[in-house]
């Protein structure tokens, strides 16, 4: 039986878990993964029992960003990254979201996880905003969520250098998130989810609305600016060469 790219299930009363498990594509944003995520969050927002979401990946992968085909489609002006809104699924979710990033978070995959209300990283995994590795400027709301969550100095290093960082290295840099051995990430997230699930659902929704209202208001303007930067940077011949030669390395 073929495994679905995204599994959604209520693991305890009020706690729902999204597992990204597109092993064929190593949790890059394939059509199946994107469609599964959009359906999962729509189902969560429509369910009045749920109080908290845990989103995680499989094995050593959390989320790996755009596929090579998708990057080439943007290069060829066939699509923009904002044609499919993945970046704000966690931000717009009515209830709190915990990113249990037990595995690698690559490019847009790392950015996607950072939009959650709570983030848990693993010591062993690689986290990178590698857009500039391919020569194009960041998207997915990266230029907003990174300084918001990580601070401007680390953001500049992550975005401009496109370097890889292990979770343990980010921990040493003072990031404000728990960084645990991979095997402990999901358990930690579950314990946190249980604490949240003790609270009244209306109170969780009301407080989240207040805490993220500024981000929800500002993000659309940021996305417009990122798309405009793509108009200047994504269509360079060098970018296509890099996508073809460096993807997955």
> Phi/psi class of residue 26: alpha, beta or left (left: φ > 0; alpha: ψ in -120 to 50)?
left
- pLDDT of the residue at 123: 98
CB 247 within 8 A of CB 107: no
Angle (nearest 5°) at CA 25 between 186 and 166: 50
Q: State whether residue 176 is helix, strand or coil.
A: coil
- pLDDT score of 234: 93
Look up residue 82 and give its DSSP letter.
G
Count of all residues that appear for the chain in the document? 249
pLDDT computed for residue 247 by the predictor: 85
Whole-angstrom distance, CA of residue 54 vs CA of residue 73: 31
Cβ contacts of residue 89 below 8 Å, gap of 6+? 37, 38, 41, 112, 115
Report pLDDT for 228: 95
Whole-model pTM: value is 0.96
Q: 103 by DSSP, 3-state: which?
A: coil
- Which residue bears the tokens 């996508």? 243
Nearest residue to 119 (alpha-carbon basis) of 167, 58, 183: 167
Low-confidence residues of the chain: pLDDT under 50: none
| Catalytically active residues, by annotation | 230
- In CATH terms, the fold of domain 6-182 is 2-enoyl-CoA Hydratase; Chain A, domain 1 (3.90.226)
- How many alpha carbons fall within 13 Å on the CB side of residue 21? 11
For position 82, what pLDDT does the model report? Answer: 83
**pLDDT tens across 4-56, in order?**
999 999 999 999 999 999 999 999 999 999 999 999 999 999 999 999 999 99
Angstrom distances, CA of residue 245 to CA of 61, 75, 233, 242: 22, 14, 18, 5
């Amino acid at each position: 039986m073929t495994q679905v790219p995204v599994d959604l299930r209520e693991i305890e009363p009020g706690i729902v878990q999204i597992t990204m498990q597109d092993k064929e594509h190593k949790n890059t944003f394939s059509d199946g993964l994107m469609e599964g995520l959009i359906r999962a969050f729509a189902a969560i927002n429509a369910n009045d029992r749920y109080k908290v979401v845990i989103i995680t990946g499989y094995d050593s992968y959390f989320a790996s960003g755009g596929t090579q085909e998708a990057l080439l489609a943007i290069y060829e002006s066939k699509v923009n990254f904002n044609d499919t809104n993945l970046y704000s699924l966690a931000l717009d979710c009515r209830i709190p979201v915990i990113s249990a990033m037990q595995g690698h978070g690559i490019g847009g995959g790392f950015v996607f996880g950072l939009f959650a209300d709570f983030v848990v990283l693993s010591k062993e995994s690689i986290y990178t905003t590698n857009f500039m590795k391919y020569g194009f400027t960041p998207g997915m709301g990266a230029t907003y969520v990174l300084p918001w969550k990580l601070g401007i100095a680390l953001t500049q290093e992550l975005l401009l250098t496109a370097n890889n960082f292990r979770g343990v290295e980010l921990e040493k840099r003072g990031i404000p998130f728990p960084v645990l051995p991979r095997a402990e990430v999901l358990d930690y997230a579950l314990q946190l989810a249980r604490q949240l699930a003790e609270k009244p659902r209306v109170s969780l929704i009301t407080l989240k609305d207040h805490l993220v209202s500024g981000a929800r208001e500002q993000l659309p303007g940021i996305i417009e600016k990122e798309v405009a930067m793509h108009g200047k940077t994504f269509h360079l011949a060098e970018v296509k060469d890099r996508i073809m030669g460096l993807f997955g390395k």
